[in-house]
Structure 1
Amino acid sequence: MHLIFVMIGVLLYSSISRTIFDTPLLWVVEVSQFMMAAYYLLGGAYSMQLDSHVRMDLFYSNWSPKRKAGTDAFTSIFLVFYLVILLIGAISSTAYAIEYGQKNYSSWAPPLAPIKIIMTFGIFLMLLQAVATFFKDLAKARGETL
């Protein structure tokens, strides 16, 4: 959660460097993009754990807790499927980046392996949390307590 402050510092440093010292920095945009990707991918599982993600609340708020849990368990199946496919692609992409020393196509040309490792780890954590949430919702839909 504190990574956002680091990103703000990097962007502020870039702004000061460009306006006061008249020296634009090549690396700032990519570093801030990498930080933002790490921020939301690592924060996804945490927001799911806190149940603070956004829902379409048109009908959902009027349902009973058992029906909400059943609906959440059902939709979690699709989320787990999506995350498994995403994780397979992330592992493949990370292995490629490590094996061939993949770099970004820019004038700064940073290595992509570190951010791909972080992204893969974030997707894995999200998958673990989605599976845990599925079983929690399934138990609640069946009227059981954990």
Structure 2
Amino acid sequence: MKQAIATYVRVVDRLSDWVGIVAMYLIFLMIGILLMDAVTRNVIDIPVHWAIEAAQFTLTAYYFMGGAVTLKNDNHVRMDLFYESLSRRGKARMDLITMVCLAFYLSVLLFGSISSLNYAIETGERRFSMWNPSMIPIKSLMVACIVLMLLQTVSLVFKHWATLREEAPA
């Protein structure tokens, strides 16, 4: 059982890192889109109507994709009123409580995002704009990234549980 948990933690952590690296490069794509928009609109006077929305979708994908690696690397915002004064095991207890709350929140979010994706698929939902892009790709990415965050949350639960049991983390 320990080996299965260690393998799960290792695979989910690697997947989170990989998705996080892809997300990191999306910033460069967004910068390129916005630069192209500025040049085409201001220099050659040919506005590209889809550029701002494409940049918005890219930024949205960046946020979704960065969630799991942010959890894994413990780079999220935390209220450190008394957390830093806790022992290593005390921090693990506090983090386990937080992970339960996070798992509940992500489960509700996943339920809503699946419902939203189903609606987009059934109705062929499109954004009301001149470009009129489909909403299915970004909503699919949202569902996949929430699932990855849930998987990463379970991985963190295993790590904090190992800390409480004074075992070496996976």
TM-score normalised by structure 2 residue count = 0.81
Give structure 2 stretches of 5+ with no counterpart: 1-23
In structure 2, what residue type is equivalent to 1:105?
F
Find the counterpart in structure 1 of residue 45 from structure 2: 22
Deviation at 1:53? 2.0
- Rounded to whole Å, the distance in 1 between the matches of 2:40 and 2:71 is 38
Runs of 4+, deviation exceeding 3 Å? none
SS in 1 for 2:48: coil
Deviation at 1:135, TM superposition (A): 2.3
2:76 corresponds, among 41, 53, 62, to 53
CA deviations over 1:69-121 (Å, ceiling 9, x no partner)? 10010011110000001111111111211222110011211000011111111
Secondary structure at the counterpart of residue 11 of structure 1: helix
Report the Cα offset of residue 23 of structure 1: 2.2
Structure 1 unaligned spans of 5+: none
- % of aligned pairs identical? 48
C-alpha separation between the residues in 2 aligned to 1:76 and 1:49? 12
What's the offset of the Cα at 1:47? 1.6
Say which SS state the counterpart of residue 133 (structure 2) adopts: coil
Determine if the alignment matches structure 1 residue 145 to structure 2 residue 158: no
RMSD (Å) for aligned C-alpha atoms: 1.3
Aligned residues: 146
Instruction: Please give the alpha-carbon distance, in whole angstroms, between the structure 2 residues aligned to 1:2 and 1:135.
Output: 30
Q: Normalised by the size of structure 1, how large is the TM-score?
A: 0.93
- Is residue 118 from structure 1 mapped to residue 141 from structure 2 by the alignment? yes
CA distance in 2, matches of 1:127, 1:31: 27
Shift of 1:37: 1.0
Corresponding residue number in structure 2 for 1:81: 104
Of residues 92-101 and 122-131 in structure 1, the stretch that sits farther from structure 2 once superposed is 92-101
Indicate conservation of the 8 Å contact 1:48/1:129, yes or no: yes
CA positional deviation for 1:25? 2.0
